[in-house]
Amino acid sequence: MTEPQPARRYRFGIFEADAVTGELRRRGLRIKLNAQPFQMLVMLIDRPGQLLTREEISSALWPEGTFVDYEHGVNSAVNRIREALGDTAGNPRFIETLARRGYRFIAPVERIEPGIAPGKDEASGLPSSLAAEQAAAAEHQPGITSGILATAEELPKASPRTVRTIFVLFQLMYVGFYVGALANLAEIEDLFSPLPRPTLALNALIVTAAILIPVRASVLTGIFFHAPGLREKLLKIWPFLLAFDELWALSPFLLLHHIDFGLALACTTLLVYSPFAQRSLVLMGAGGVEREASAAAR
């Protein structure tokens, strides 16, 4: 009997790699990747979660006796793969650098058995890359927001440190709002007095500020101490924070004793966008653990 052939097609996230044809596809569209970087990618996805040493890569890509700068060649191949996948060394989603040792593929990989139509998902009949994309969207973008909010692949690349710094500044801004409001309750009570239910509005301000101060403190603590799984946790609580952040977008109007109505309105319109900016920062790496990468791999 003929021995069964190993799977030569792989699926990871919204990508598919076909080791037979040498093709890498994203959402069904082919991505240009030269032969050696593609060969290295196949080596990585064939052993997900396992260390692939630089020596193994060099011996596979360049036969013995080949005169080439192996260090530069391996670094260049890794960079080409990361560029094709939209990955970064500082905040990897696919290829992790293990300093002075090699690389490891850290995303889940599905081996597609022979006999399944290329690009098709068995359960849904949809193109497999589209099915994977829809599954990811369903996980992080439930309900009516699906297809509206940006995905990680659609956002620009940025330094993890820069992204985290901006995200921390957002949290400190909100803490300043809460503390400032609680410190000026008498002045705010005077502002609320013309409202139909001033006491209710004042109590809502006090309660939400008292709830959100520890929430923001928890987020800041997770960022500073690189809490594992923080990205997923932040995405889960984002709808909760969205509701409160949109309410607190009105906070500039609490300063009407000090600024005019037009400036308060302008600040409010910017704050309405703030929670969406924070979500983008989380997807860009604000909630991820920064891993140290070797200088050669950058």
- CB neighbour list of residue 84: distance below 8 Å, 6 or more residues apart: 24, 31, 32, 33, 37
CB 286 within 8 A of CB 163: yes
Tell me the pLDDT of the chain (298 aa) as tens digits. Answer: 444 445 589 999 889 999 889 999 988 889 889 988 999 999 999 999 999 998 888 888 877 656 566 778 888 889 999 988 988 888 889 999 998 889 999 999 998 876 555 444 444 444 444 444 444 444 444 444 445 787 776 788 788 889 999 999 999 999 999 999 999 999 999 999 999 999 999 999 999 999 999 999 999 999 998 887 788 889 899 999 999 999 999 999 999 888 999 999 999 999 999 999 999 999 888 876 443 333 333 3
Beta bridge partners of 97: 103
Query: What was the pLDDT predicted at 260?
Result: 92
Instruction: Give kind and range of the element (H or E) at residue 16.
Output: strand 15-18
Q: In degrees to the nearest 10, what's the CA dihedral of 198, 200, 206, 211?
A: -150
Is-contact 61 81, C-beta < 8 A?
no
Q: Specify the residue for token string 């006796």.
A: 65
Amino acid 205: pLDDT: 95
Phi, psi for 165 (deg, rounded to 5): -60, -45
CB distance 121 to 127 below 8 Å: yes
Residues in the chain: 298
Q: Give the closest residue to 164 by CA, choosing from 85, 241, 225, 235.
A: 225
Query: What strands lie across the sheet with 15-18, from one edge to the other?
Result: 29-31, 23-26, 15-18, 9-12, 110-112
Q: Are 149 and 141 in contact (CB under 8 A)?
A: yes
Predicted local confidence at residue 287, as pLDDT:
72
What does the pLDDT read at residue 27? 82
**In this structure, CATH architecture of domain 9-114+125-141:** Orthogonal Bundle (1.10)
Record the pTM: 0.54
